A and B are shown apart, each in its own frame.
Chain A
Amino acid sequence: MVGFRNNKLFIVLFIAPAFLIVTFFEMVPVLSTIYFSFHDWPGIASAPLKFVGWRNYGYIFQDEQFLRSLRNVLSYVFWSVIGQVGLGFTLALMIYHVTRGTRFYKASFFLPLVLPATSVALIWYFILFPTDMGVVNHVLDWLGLDGWKRAWLVDKSMAMPWIIVITTWTSIGYYTTIGLAALSGLPDEVLEAAQIDGAVGLRRIWSVIIPMIWESIKISVVLVITGVLKIFDIIFILTDGGPNGATHVPATLLYKEAFEYNNYGGGSAIATVIFLLSITLSLFSLRVMRSDKMEA
């Protein structure tokens, strides 16, 4: 064993696969994207790359559509953290305290996660269908709330909230599962000691359970942030960024710019912004949660 550790060839051989994968499938694409974001190229093999400096960034940050997509994604991140992590962990706590039918609840909340995005989009398209054929409008009609009926996904003020609801519905099971895994790891003796000391009900959850599963909450928040910043499929299928750009997020704009408008430099600039935003928000949230934990 010691011989292996001292053999440099073995060390290189063991590290090489991971190193090559990370280098060629993560580092090179990221660095190439940053490189291309400073160039203009119309998507034609024979057309040369033209260095344009910061122009692509200037262009996207002057573009109202892109700025709106940034606002959209930030509110998307905020509500998703609340919805997916907050609600997901709350559900986990509830299931944890339920003694019967636990498997059923787990399966129910996890089910949407295994559905393909296309199926999720279709299900919700029919739920939100703009006429009385839509489940939501049909129920409102049945309740006599005609005035509340909407063409939900083409209502500028409602389309984005619905996208957030749909994503939350799809992903909540994942965070419930993480929460349940964290809760199942709690030592019984600590919980019993807390109970003897008088920590029951909300006090027990707030002062004992949450601090003990805080690391799982932190990683969940980071996963939600990075996941939402990359979200593409549901929006692409359900609204294609509409109505009139109201549900665009940077990822859907990236696709449009690069693959539909042949603006590969602009698309790369948006990809770089998503990358930087993802790192910044993740670090920021970890920092905030670290201070919270200290205070707690």
Chain B
Amino acid sequence: MNRLLIVGLALVFILAGCGKSNSGSNSEAGTSNSGTSSGSSAKQDAGGQKVQISIMTRWGESDPLAPFLNEVIEMFEAEHPNIEVINESISEEASYNNKLKTSIATGQTPSIFYWPGVAGIVEWAENGVLMDVTPLLEDKEWSDGFISGAFEIWNMEKYGVPGHYGIPIGFNPEVMFYNPVVFEQAGITKLPETMDELYETIDKLKASGVIPWGVGAKDTWRAGHIHNNIFYRLIGVEAAKELGTRQKKWTDPDVVETFALFKDLKARGAFQEGFEGVDHNTERSDFLNGKSAMILNGAWAISEIIASDSPYKDQFRFFPFPYFADKPEYKSDSVLYNDVLFISGTMEGAVKEAAIEFVKFLTGKEMQELKLQKYGRLPSRHDVQASEDAPQILKDMVQYMGTIQNPGGDIHDYDPNPAIIDVIRNSIIGMMLGNTPEQTAEEIQKAIDQYEQRKG
């Protein structure tokens, strides 16, 4: 109840802040203050000597990458004594989202920040919250090292806003992690490459008494991720983009089939009983303890495996999500999640230069190498490779990432409706609890139609 009070007050004050900032922004339009930032949490001190910039990521507090960011900031500040970087990172998702949105609503956008999604940034790009980073790409020494097409993901041209807005700092392919010991005990000698082979694998694992595929769908993103993989392998990444640009509907038969195939996995007994109510932590611990044979997860799971005290930690391996034998054209349409940073579009002069300098430092070769070697997180650059003494699973992942040809993020990333993430994931859970694939598709399409109607 108290929480509601806080939410209510926050809502009102954010809204009140909006009114105040509106008048401020009108005057900003005509005056450009060199050396200062307008409507940003960054600033330059009175003497003009020390520039303050801020960064807000999910790598805060207990996040495994929190020390990485602190280390980078320390090194950067040592090299740039005239710049101070304020780290405002928060690892907990809801708190992070609240803080970032409040900052943007009150015109105190952090100089550099993380935000998931692609189409969801359109309004920010339109309203000048984000900096168009296209001019930065001319610095070939920095930009050429990124994985081909990395910046194109945030090219907002297709949504009617010219410019590139995101700077990727890491990519995470999603794969099937498996326990070779459990596979061997179940008599599995060949890793599944096609969906039919995956079904056979599931049958064998089930017969051996383990949970074939651990899923903790209480955290609905777990089910959403499985659907992403089925979707891309069945109808391709372009289909997701077409859903976002409304050239395609969720009720199209091929999209409905993606749901049917997911539901079919449940019917085959791929997941544990009651997986819809199991949380991701339980899913993870079941896998690490050998109770489940496989989990589908992003490359970030490698650092969790390495940091765990699982008896199988050195044995865990992965295989790419199987493809459909009758859809070989989508064999390389794969899920690749991204960690991306945005630069505030409200900065000017020295503060803006400092923020750009820091982003280039953080996403440059040297720091991404540090992130990979010391923290086990994949880079967004092709000029960064795992060292010889890195764990085998990490080396395999870096190598696998290089083979992905047609990557796609979460399907909802391509949709401008911010509510669609919940609609899709909740509808999938609804389907697992009894709805038909057709009802699921209709539910999502209805939400999109309502959104479009509201937007006019």
Give chain A's interface residues, CB within 8 Å of chain B.
Answer: 25, 28-29, 32-33, 36, 41-49, 55, 59, 62-63, 117, 125, 128-131, 151-156, 227, 230-233, 236, 240-245, 251, 254-264, 267-268, 271
Contact = CB atoms under 8 A, between A and B. Distances in A.
Nearest to B106: A45
A62 B451 CA distance: 12
Interface string B1-38: 11111011101111111110110110010000000000
Contact of A45 (B2, B11, B104, B419): B104
A243 B276 contact: yes
B99 to A, nearest CB: 11
Interface string B105-127: 11100000000000000011001
Nearest to A255: B7
Contact of B429 (A55, A154, A255): A154
B207 interface: no
A44 B97 contact: no
A38 to B, nearest CB: 12
A109 B5 CA distance: 26
Given A33-B11, A254-B7, A258-B11, A44 B450 contact: no
B351 interface: no
Contacts of A236: 3
B277 interface: yes
A263 B454 CA distance: 11
Given A232-B7, A243-B426, A259 B39 contact: no
Residue from B16, B22, B98, B274 whose CB has the most chain A CB atoms within 10 Å:
B274
Contacts of B277: 128-130, 151-154
27 contacts: A44-B105, A44-B123, A44-B127, A45-B21, A45-B22, A46-B346, A47-B123, A63-B450, A125-B279, A129-B278, A131-B272, A131-B278, A154-B218, A230-B5, A231-B1, A232-B4, A233-B1, A236-B3, A243-B426, A243-B433, A254-B11, A256-B419, A259-B97, A259-B101, A261-B419, A262-B418, A271-B11
A255 B16 CA distance: 17
B278 A130 contact: yes
Interface string B218-249: 10100000000000000000000000000000
A263 B422 CA distance: 14
A267 B274 CA distance: 33
B104 to A, nearest CB: 6
B426 A227 contact: no
A156 B97 contact: no
Given A43-B14, A230-B1, A154 B276 contact: yes
Contact of B97 (A46, A129, A154, A260): A260
B1 A242 contact: no
B128 interface: yes
B269 to A, nearest CB: 15
A129 B273 CA distance: 11
Given A156-B434, A262-B101, A32 B15 contact: yes
Interface string B87-106: 00000000001100100111
